[in-house]
Structure 1
Amino acid sequence: MRNEDEIWRLVEAKRAEYQALADRVWGMPELCYAEARSVEQHREMLEREGFRVTTDLADIPTAVMGEAGEGGPVIAILGEYDALPGLSQEAGIAEPKPVPGETSGHGCGHNLLGAGAMLAAAAVKDWLKANGIPGRVRYYGCPAEEGGAAKGFMVRAGAFDDVDIAISWHPACFAGVNEPVSLANTRIDFTFHGRSSHAAAAPHLGRSALDAVELMNVGVNYMREHMPSDARIHYAYLDAGGIAPNVVQGRAKVRYLIRARDVQELRPLVERVRKIADGAALMTETTVETQVISAVSNLLANEPLEAALHTNLERLGPPPFTAEDREFAAAIQKTLREEDITAAYRRHGLPVEKDKPLHDAIVPVSSKGAGMVGSTDVGDVSWKVPTVQARGATWAVGTPAHSWQVVAQGKSPMAHTGMVHVAKAMAGVALDAIRDPGLIAKAKADHQARIGGRPYESPLPADAKPALGMSLAE
């Protein structure tokens, strides 16, 4: 039996347990840094598997790490389990139907992400034990990817200092190597303080914090013409000053998300936004205070690991979807717009196939999409150690991330199939690295070449702390 066949058999043997884990976490959607029940599910599974478990990793109550094996290289496999607000949805139906009493939902598939990553780590653990090979595999349960930058805090705390390579994945419409492109970003809260007064009897005595927020937003909107074309700036009101229009608003708060191609390009943009906030305060005779909530780096590629991952995916072949899977995916596609489906193919540089609700091929590594990109705190791990990510085909083609359609598909047989498929590929890469020190050496050389003279520097301010107990999604 070939080694890849053996590791894939070990993954397959555990699939039912980890499909159940994914479904349990789907049923308890928890937001950024509040994943108490979800991390408990992951901790219990790690202990049941015999991993050496570390809780409160990096002093984050909802972060956990399990390690198995002795000596040899250290292979990290990264999982997540946080959900999103406002995406409550029943599973298995192709129409929007919120779950009664629930407001959040797994609209980015992190219930699958965490379970699939741990499944890969557990199979590698069993393989190391069965073969008596030196090596350590670690599962990192990472909270707060959606806005909290937990991995950035974990990197800063030294949680990855002795790791040789890191492997992760993300649910998607296609199976293949994740194109290693993302935007660095910073989230900052701007709180303006003015002076309340009666808006009719004494407006001249008031100083409106809401006016300051609105002027800041106008200033940033004018700034958009004069920043790099791939940079992005978004904002959301957290506190508009109350519901009484006859009171001059004495306090108002806005959250800004500033994105740029890399950390070097991000820093000057952040300073420009800060100056606009100061100007808005000056114009309104208010004051402004700021708090950095999170910050993440852009992703770094790693060609040796990407080649190893693609080889494993090609050996596996496409996910073995069933006729029932395709039928459900087709029903989901009927809720999408044609442009959603077309954009999904173009994002990956693929020809559009309108008659295929599920994609049953491995995306070539050479495929280069032209679509817009988001951000991920995996970027900070990729600056610290050589990192590779897969995409797993778990959704109907065209399904937009952060949507009710993702939640509806989150417990489906096709989602389980895609999760197990990518777990086999990740476990295969881990095995390749453990058995071939040359792969790790090449990955580290590639990593150093990309960093060049710019060693990792956390985009988080030195005094920034994980936003525990704070709703990052309001």
Structure 2
Amino acid sequence: MKHEEFIKDIIESKSKFLNEVSTYIFEHPETRFQEYNSSKKLIETLKHEGFEVEENVANIDTAFLGKFGSGKPVIGFLGEFDALSGLSQEPGIAEHSPIEDGGNGHGCGHNLLGIGSLAAAIAVKEYLEANNLEGTVIYYGTPGEEGGSGKTFMSREGVFDDLDYAFCWHPAPINAVMMNKTLANYQVKFKFKGTSAHAAQSPELGRSALDAVELMNVGVNYMREHMSDTARVHYAVLNTGGTSPNVVQSDAEVLYLIRAETLKETRELFERVKKIAQGAALMTETETSFEIQKACSDYEPNRALEAVIYDYLKREEAEITFTDEELKFAQKIVDTLSDSEKEGAIKANESFGAVVDGEKVIGKPLSDVVHDYVVTGKVMLGSTDVADVSWVTPTAQISAATSAFGTPLHTWQMTAQGLSSYAFKGMYRAARVMANTAVHVLHDETLLSEMKEEHEEKLKKQPYENPIPKDVNPQP
């Protein structure tokens, strides 16, 4: 039996059980580093499937790994399972209907992502066992991707050092190889300390920390004109110092997310932002301090591995079909999107790999095509902690269609489709592609050597340096 048939049969035989696990995670949405129910469920599943489990990996309560086999190669599958705040939504309906007002929801599809990678790991484990082959497969439970950079913390502790190659995927409106580089980032909290006073009776005695935050934000806005086109700086005011306008605010905080194409450029921007904070403190006679919360590198794709994963993804194209019921529901979701969301769908999907032929999906509520694999040098204007794994070992990612065309991530519409039958179809498509690619490399030592040579050449030009300082710990 060809390995493709074997992989397909194994995944199909596990699908009912894995659907239940995905549904459980959907129904227990937990945000970064608080994924206690989800991680427990995944750990139970790994043990049920015969993996040896290690918990509290990298001193993170909700990080874990499941290992099977021995020897080389060591193959990794990255699984995410964290949710987002404020995206609670009833599944299966095309109108905004939160299960819990303000509650969490899987608006990035991580209830699918984690299970798709798990299905791939199980299939490769079964293949090794059935054929009595040497090799090790590891499923990595990586918490806190959303704003936490869990993989970067894990990478800092050497969790991925033994890997020969790794895979990840992402739920999306399209099917493609995610070949674009991404932006590195730093997330930093700036605090200002001033002096409180009666705002009317003795304003001359007060030194406003809130004024400092506002001046800092203005200064950073002026800096935007003098950054590279792909750099991004975002902020959120965390603490305004109170709700009484007749009191000069003595404390205020603002959170900054600083992004650029390389870690070097990101650090340079960070230094500029720090100077602006210091300037705001001087202008207001306040004191300022900063606290790095997390960071991640820019994604470094492995082109040799990508070429193979594209081949297996392309083989899936003829099998992508949808029922009338699925198409009708997807169209209802499309109908909820704004004109700008619909018009920007092609450009938005460049991030997921549709870099030259996005028009293939125009007019279709669900994508039934695989986009061409073309390396263009475009940058995905977002970040992922998969990047830090890619600096440690050859890594490839794909996207698989789990949502209606045009669906933006981090929206209630994405959550609404999280348990749809076509979302599960996309999840298992991704699982088959990753598993088949893993087995292909397992049998092709020449390809593995090419992948490693490519990876090592990049490290010669730019050695990997984990961006998170040793004294920074994961924060919920």
Partner of 1:415: 423
Quote how far apart the aligned CAs of 1:345 are. 2.2
Partner of 1:185: 185
Quote how far apart the aligned CAs of 1:5 are. 1.5
1:291-341 Cα offsets, whole Å, 9 max, x none, are 100000000021111011011112222533222111111000000123323
Quote how far apart the aligned CAs of 1:73 are. 0.5
1:319-367 Cα offsets, whole Å, 9 max, x none, are 3322211111100000012332342223323226442100101111127
Quote how far apart the aligned CAs of 1:289 are. 1.3
Quote how far apart the aligned CAs of 1:392 are. 1.0
Partner of 1:325: 326
Change (3 A) 1:417 1:180: same
Partner of 1:398: 406
Change (3 A) 1:3 1:384: same
Q: Please report the TM-score for the alignment, with normalisation by the length of structure 2.
A: 0.96
Partner of 2:467: 459
- Between the aligned partners of 2:472 and 2:320, the Cα distance in structure 1 is 42
Long gaps (5+) in structure 1: none
Partner of 1:128: 128
Aligned pairs (5 A) from 1:230-245: 230-245=230-245
Quote how far apart the aligned CAs of 1:19 are. 1.4
- Between the aligned partners of 1:185 and 1:11, the Cα distance in structure 2 is 36
Partner of 1:119: 119
Partner of 1:31: 31
Quote how far apart the aligned CAs of 1:72 are. 2.0
Consecutive aligned runs of 4 or more in structure 1 exceeding 6 Å deviation: none
Contact residue 181 and residue 379 of structure 2 kept, 8 A:
no
Contact residue 174 and residue 392 of structure 1 kept, 8 A:
yes
1:316 aligns with 2:316: yes
- Between the aligned partners of 1:79 and 1:299, the Cα distance in structure 2 is 17
Partner of 1:439: 447
Change (3 A) 1:369 1:20: farther
Partner of 2:346: 345
Quote how far apart the aligned CAs of 1:154 are. 0.5
Long gaps (5+) in structure 2: none
Q: Please report the TM-score for the alignment, with normalisation by the length of structure 1.
A: 0.96
Q: Is the partner of 1:62 in helix, strand or coil?
A: coil
Contact residue 234 and residue 258 of structure 2 kept, 8 A:
yes
Structure 2 counterpart of 1:357, from 365, 368, 382: 365
Letter in 1 for 2:321: P
1:56 aligns with 2:41: no
- Between the aligned partners of 2:162 and 2:124, the Cα distance in structure 1 is 18
Q: Is the partner of 2:344 in helix, strand or coil?
A: helix
Contact residue 188 and residue 291 of structure 2 kept, 8 A:
yes
Partner of 1:450: 458
- Between the aligned partners of 2:375 and 2:346, the Cα distance in structure 1 is 11
Contact residue 174 and residue 399 of structure 2 kept, 8 A:
yes
Contact residue 360 and residue 369 of structure 2 kept, 8 A:
no
Partner of 1:424: 432
Q: Is the partner of 1:312 in helix, strand or coil?
A: helix
Q: How many residues are aligned here? A: 468
1:278 aligns with 2:266: no
- Between the aligned partners of 1:305 and 1:274, the Cα distance in structure 2 is 39
Q: Is the partner of 2:25 in helix, strand or coil?
A: helix
Change (3 A) 1:169 1:178: same
- Between the aligned partners of 1:186 and 1:144, the Cα distance in structure 2 is 15
Aligned pairs (5 A) from 1:1-400: 1-100=1-100, 103-317=103-317, 318-346=319-347, 347=350, 348=354, 349=356, 350-351=358-359, 353-366=361-374, 373-400=381-408
Quote how far apart the aligned CAs of 1:442 are. 1.1
- Between the aligned partners of 2:151 and 2:112, the Cα distance in structure 1 is 18
Letter in 2 for 1:397: F
Q: Is the partner of 1:126 in helix, strand or coil?
A: helix
- Between the aligned partners of 2:56 and 2:323, the Cα distance in structure 1 is 41
- Between the aligned partners of 2:386 and 2:289, the Cα distance in structure 1 is 29
Change (3 A) 1:11 1:402: same
Contact residue 230 and residue 381 of structure 2 kept, 8 A:
no
- Between the aligned partners of 1:263 and 1:78, the Cα distance in structure 2 is 22
Contact residue 319 and residue 393 of structure 1 kept, 8 A:
no
Letter in 2 for 1:121: A
Q: Is the partner of 2:257 in helix, strand or coil?
A: strand
- Between the aligned partners of 2:305 and 2:15, the Cα distance in structure 1 is 25
Change (3 A) 1:106 1:427: same
Indicate the percent of aligned positions where both proteins have the same amino acid: 47
1:73-116 Cα offsets, whole Å, 9 max, x none, are 00000010011111111100111111136611111001100011
Quote how far apart the aligned CAs of 1:434 are. 1.4
Change (3 A) 1:408 1:330: same
1:175-195 Cα offsets, whole Å, 9 max, x none, are 121123210000000011111
RMSD: 1.4
Q: Is the partner of 1:94 in helix, strand or coil?
A: coil
Change (3 A) 1:162 1:372: closer
- Between the aligned partners of 2:90 and 2:116, the Cα distance in structure 1 is 22
Quote how far apart the aligned CAs of 1:215 are. 0.3
Quote how far apart the aligned CAs of 1:435 are. 1.6
Q: Is the partner of 2:391 in helix, strand or coil?
A: helix
- Between the aligned partners of 1:106 and 1:49, the Cα distance in structure 2 is 25
Contact residue 8 and residue 428 of structure 1 kept, 8 A:
no
